[in-house]
Structure 1
Amino acid sequence: MGYRVAVVGATGAVGREILKTLAERAFPIDEIAAVASARSTGQEVSFGDRKVLKVQNLDTFDFTGWDIALFSPGGAVSAKHAPRAAAAGCIVIDNTSHFRMEPDVPLVVPEVNPNALKKARRGIIANPNCSTIQMVVALKPLHDLFTIRRVVVATYQAVAGAGKEGMDELFAQAKGFFVNDPPKIEQFTKQIAFNCIPQIDRFMDDGATKEEWKMTVETRKILDPDIAVIATCVRVPVFIGHSEAVHVEFEEPVDLARARAALREADGVILHDEREDGGYVTPLECVGEDASYVSRLRVDPTVPNGLAFWCVSDNLRKGAALNAVQIAETMIALDLIRPAAKV
């Protein structure tokens, strides 16, 4: 027997990717609903190669009898409707930042901390930030080996992290550049085409941006509260695929051969590290792929017990949709979700 699954925010970039991922992975579904805001009601979205779904209105959608709701509608909308879905007995997996740091809501990357799912007392599980997900997947096997003390990371984040509107703005500015049209700036603080912007989300009192704060607190919640993290998050003119330059300091002496072996064997990681021209993975090459790709692995001689590496991942896929679907799959494997009809 399969599950009744609702995808909330189904018309957005992440929602569409969730529908695609569910179909590709043959998730055990008996019935699926595409749900979004009133203005999207009646639109059609694809599920798999043959099925088209009519979008239903979130404001009037009844979650009673539905087993799983995969949310990606925006934080304010999740704040209102995710508790309503959970109260109806539906397990909510939320892609927004709203619930992530609440102590009674698990923040989960299945390759890293699957057992946290057993603590989902409210029926809500939070999906971490896209840049956090790909980093902790790569850090987990190294932390198990040498115990991480400190992480310094610089991110190079694709405009898909700002949704379809961000991608449209990059396209329009790049196209306009060649015909001398002045750039129209709406989604970002400055021109994004042919530029880098060292700000993602708003500034906080200490000078960090909200995105940088997310990477710090989420890594500590998922991986280990004793890890010190500082991030610099930069928006770059790439459509899809986040990149990160990660520098890690460990408690114990590092062994490069053991680190390589651990990364090769780790779930969700592909090590592609050839010390030659082109012997690394770029964001363009990771689009549509499930893994966090690790390249440029090397000893950092400037700190005791240091390693440095380059990490790329598809932020719409592993950074959002795939991780959410994997959470649902893991809950099924741990017998934490049963079909309502069967119960």
Structure 2
Amino acid sequence: MERTNDSILTEFVLAGLSAHPKLQTVLFVLVLWMYLMILLGNGVIISVIIYDSHLHTPMYFFLCNLSFLDICYTSSSVPLILDSFLTVRKRVSFSGCMVQMLLSFAMGTTECMLLGVMALDRYVAICYPLRYPVIMSKGAYMLMAAGSWVSGLVDSVVQTSLAMQLPFCANNVINHFVCEILAILKLACADISINVISMAGSNLIFLVIPLLVISLSYIFIVAAILKIPSTEGKRKAFSTCSAHLIVVIIFYGTIFFMYAKPKSKESVGTDNQDITGALISLFYGVMTPMLNPLIYSLRNKDVKAAVKNMLGRKNVSD
């Protein structure tokens, strides 16, 4: 372990799957392919929304933010993940590790908030269609998006700052592919109660509350859809929400497993449990951003039509 004369930690070592070199090779190819698909898929979504003036609405503005967020989210960690697959016991400087952790945590928190405001947008669109243009004005939806980004950054700064103040004494090996905050807290040689309390508060504000907003929004949305007399009307109303709902289920289903119950340092699991958690983290960190553009493009006729138009295929069937 690298330390300076005044015993300040200067680097961490990412263990990853160094004990399973064959699996690392397979995962390197898989993650690289998924990352390229993330860049391509989300890049197409962003380009299409900017290109097609018909998609200059609050719903697609939020979707454009989500696609850009997914690119930033994966770009903050995937290059380090790929490098760790190629390097046995990848070494990362303390400052570099903290910066990567800050960016990844900020992007994850922002996505929670963004999914919440997207649910509110669908609630207003379905339950108050006549007032929708007034309620979701340009100033309102831009403020909602900006609030998501700012709150994510502020929360990440708080959590990272608390982690940076901890002393790291005997062990600097992180059983993960990246500098993940829970894995780093396990290495501290001091009481992490403040960090646990802070993480619990963060979970409440940025995980539980957005999920409650999403749940309540969809309760009202379903109730409003059931009141629509025609079957076609019900189908069309639900189709505008189904893609977002699928993304929410995938994203929250995996992230809650990782962050809903931060454990104390004394309750950490075995190395196998740490690796399992790392693989789950890899799933929501890479798989979900890759699936998002696919889900939205397959379940949204406007996006499919806009993609075809942008590619020069003007004759689009209804």
Bigger proportion of residues as helix: 2
Tell which has more relative contact order, 1 or 2 (C-alpha 8 A, sep 6+). 2
Q: Which is strand-richer, 1 or 2?
A: 1
Normalising by structure 2, we get a TM-score of: 0.30
If you compute each CA radius of gyration, which structure gives the higher value, 1 or 2? 2
